[in-house]
Amino acid sequence: MIWIGDVLVSLGEGGVYNERMLGSARIWEPYRSKLAAFYHVGKGVELVPSLRVLYLGAANGTTVSHVADYCEVVYAVEFAPRPMQDLIEVARRRRNVIPIMADATRPETYAPLVEAVDLVYQDVAQPDQASIAIRNCVFLKPGGYLILMLKTRSVDVRKDPLIVFDETLLALEEAGFTVQESVWLAPYHQDHAAIICVKPEKPGE
Amino acid sequence: MQSYWFGDVSEGRCSPVAVDIVAIVNRVLSLSTQMDAFIPPDWQQAVSCGVCSDRADYLVRLQEVCIAAAERSVREHYAGKDAELLQMVRTLDEMDTVINLLSERAADWYMVRHPAFSRKYRRTPSHILVRTIREKSRGALGKVAGEIEQLAETRTALAKEVSARANDVMPNTSALIGGLVAARLMAHAGGLLPLSRLPASAIQVLGARTALFSHLKTHTPSPKHGIIFQHRRVHNAPRDLRGRVARVLAGKLAIAARLDYFRGITAPEFLEQAQNSIDTAGKGNGL
């Protein structure tokens, strides 16, 4: 990751969402982007130019644009039409963003488009976040990473975030993932946790 | 066999589909994959298919296809008759909020200029007060009051348009509860399709979210009605019957919304029978 002092930045064409610049680098705000927050509070996965990324819950393409600055290609899945309009605009300016208007709970609708990826990043406001992640890991290469931004309040507003967190970790481990890192995104984002898992080299091991 | 956006791959051999982008987009939007046997596409297969020359070209082609497909999906999503109505209702409700806020503020400002003024015992409707403020105030306050009046005028025009559009888009629901309230129900559900999928019990308390959740959480009495309270047969009903009227009305609205979505035209027999049962519910006997 590229840091200028303690500011996380990415290198690419600016002006995507009026982000502040530091020289020619785009500042990646931790209060705005959960992934940026993750790099501030945890270790995260080092983004390198060879990475192919499947990004679920791409929204307006804000975080997507930063990920695209670091990686080879980003398959950006978003369901809602309004943010999709913005995402398409981002894709027009960034050759390595592939916008897909589809429901992340139904990978069968976009499977013919998405190649095997090194990283699945998921940030969706859905109750069944663990199962969405598990279903989408057919696209993940063995040994690849899953970064799950767990919105505990979307799973169940009435449940204690800590319990939701534990249940999600358990579900991921039962599906065969090895949890490598899990942190809360406070103070940048409330009731959000980031979980990094590794897909086993051979299924079943 | 694996079906990918660029072609079908079977036992290492790839048969390409049309080169034409529209044809590929059609294919992409209609394909559905069996996930248990799925192997992700590989750009080298696309090269052997003759769709592209190298990795960079693969991504260029794929992006072109995906942007076209996404654009079409967005367009289709907005093509429904309810898409614009939804924005119109939301604008209308926001305008109400803004007009109320500004009127209150202007009145407060006016009272500072006129220390002897009070609204007590006058029963002046808000719009009359705004007119008075405009006529009697110089400078910015008068202009603000003028703007509020303008806004109120636009609001009235918009309300008429909403009503007319709702009669067209959701004829059965509108016939039961009036265009404006019907449109509000639709906007709360997020569209005509989501509304038609709601159970009657949800329609009954649509717009009473705070009351509903406080009921679920702390066992306060359950809400009897949400938006549908705005309908005269609910709010004019005697207190002890309101719940019943709301329930019967919501039941009929659920059917009406489904008729509107799937049929799109008025169903006179249904409406007549529905009006009767709602009227009966309001009379307090029978049922």
The predicted model gives B152-180 an average pLDDT of 96
Whole-prediction pTM: 0.84
Residue A104 has pLDDT above 90, yes or no: yes
Q: How far is B77 from chain A (nearest CA, A)?
A: 7
Chain B residues with CB within 8 Å of chain A CB: 3-5, 28, 31-35, 38, 40-43, 59-60, 62-63, 65-67, 69-71, 73-74, 77-78, 217
Tens digits of residue pLDDT in B217-252: 888 999 998 999 999 999 999 999 999 999 999 999
Least confident stretch, B169-178, B184-193, B229-238, B257-266:
B229-238
Residue B123 CB contacts under 8 Å (≥ 6 apart), including other chains: none
Q: Which CATH class is domain A29-198?
A: alpha beta
Mean pLDDT score, A106-121: 96
Q: What is the dihedral of CA A48, A51, A54, A57, to 10 degrees?
A: 10
Among A35-39, A156-160, B89-93, whose mean pLDDT is lowest?
A156-160
What secondary structure letter does DSSP report for A119?
Answer: E
In which order are the strands placed within the sheet that holds A97-101?
A97-101, A73-78, A52-56, A117-122, A140-151, A192-198, A178-184
pLDDT number for residue A70: 97
pLDDT single digits (tens) B54-70: 999 999 999 999 999 99
Element (H, E) at A165: helix A161-174
pLDDT for the residue numbered B15 = 86
Mean pLDDT for B199-213 is: 92
Q: Cα distance from A42 to chain B (closest Cα, Å)?
A: 31
Question: Which pLDDT score, from 0 to 100, does residue A177 have?
Answer: 94
Average pLDDT, chain B: 92
Measured between alpha carbons, how far is A105 from B231 in angstroms, rounded to an integer? 38
CB atoms within 10 A of CB A156: 13
Asked whether the beta carbons of residue B74 and residue A114 sit closer than 8 angstroms, the reply is: no
ipTM computed for the complex: 0.94
Which residue intervals of B81-170 are DSSP H helices?
81-113, 126-136, 139-169
- The b/e string for B43-71 (b: 16+ C-beta within 10 A; e otherwise) is bebbbebebbeeeeebbebbbebbbbbbb
Contact: B42, A116; criterion CB under 8 Å:
yes
> Which residue in B32, B65, B66 is closest to A109 by CB distance?
B32
The mean pLDDT of B119-137, rounded to a whole number, is: 89
Q: Is residue A92 within 8 angstroms of chain B, CB to CB?
A: yes
Q: Does the pLDDT value for residue A71 go beyond 70? A: yes
- High-pLDDT (> 70) share of chain A, %: 98
Whether the Cβ atoms of residue B113 and residue B137 lie closer than 8 Å to each other: yes
Q: Would you say residue B8 has pLDDT above 50? A: yes
Please tell me the predicted confidence (pLDDT) of residue B285: 64
Please name every residue paired with B2 in a beta bridge, in sequence order, or none if there are none. Answer: B9
Higher pLDDT, B81 or B19: B81
A56 closest CA partner among A117, A136, A127: A136
Give the per-residue pLDDT at B287. Answer: 47
3-state secondary structure B204-268: HCCCCHHHHHHHHHHCCCCCCCCHHHHCHHHHCCCHHHHHHHHHHHHHHHHHHHHHHHHCCCCCH
pLDDT of amino acid A203? 54
- Encoded tokens for A49: 């130019």
Q: Specify the pLDDT at position B123.
A: 81
Domain boundaries, given as residue ranges, for chain A: 29-198
Which pair of structure tokens corresponds to residue A104?
A: 């992340």
pLDDT > 90: percent of chain B:
75
Q: Position of tokens 């319990």? A: A163
User: Residue B71 is nearest to which of A88, A112, A158, comparing CB atoms?
Assistant: A88
